[in-house]
Every structure is written in C-alpha cells, then in structure tokens.
Amino acid sequence: MRLGSSLVYAPVTDRLYRTEFSQDPIIKHHLAALFDRLLEQNLLRIVEPYSVVEISYIASHVELSVQEVEGK
C-alpha cells in the first residue's frame, strides 16, 4: 500500500488517539512535521503541471487560507 492511499485513515486515527497524541510532546511534534511535509508535497503535486496557477483557487479547493498555501 502506498503512503498516499493509507492517509485516508489519518483522520480516523487522529480521532481515536487524539488524547494520547496531544499529551505526548514528541509524537505531537513529529505528527505536526509529518503533516506539514505531506501538505507541502501534495500542494507541489497539484501545481507542478502548470506554469501559472491561481493561489486563491488552490486554497479554496484544499480548504486552506491563501496565506497558508503561499507559505508552503
């Protein structure tokens, strides 16, 4: 199974173990870094085939603010 397809389970896992994840600072830090990298990689995959993109369009479709998308 590819990592991308297993990410479907991330929200379920987050709900099941939210307390444990939020109480352990090491896990919390690593998960934040992981999700940040995954977001950046996914945004790059979205915009890579295009020479010009509308940041606000991308932001609205991934449900993030324009500032968050520009920051990646």
What pLDDT was estimated at residue 67?
93
CA distances from 16 to 9, 10, 21, 35, 65 (A): 11, 10, 10, 17, 27
Selected residue with higher pLDDT from 7 and 71: 71
Run of H or E residues at 23 = helix 10-23
Residues 69 and 62: their CA atoms lie apart, in Å, by 9
Query: What does the alpha-carbon distance between residue 28 and residue 34 come to, in Å, rounded to a whole number?
Result: 10
Question: pLDDT of 24-59, one tens digit each?
Answer: 889 888 888 888 888 899 899 999 999 999 999 998
Q: Report the predicted TM-score, pTM, of the whole model to 2 decimal places.
A: 0.66
Coil/strand/helix, residue 30: helix
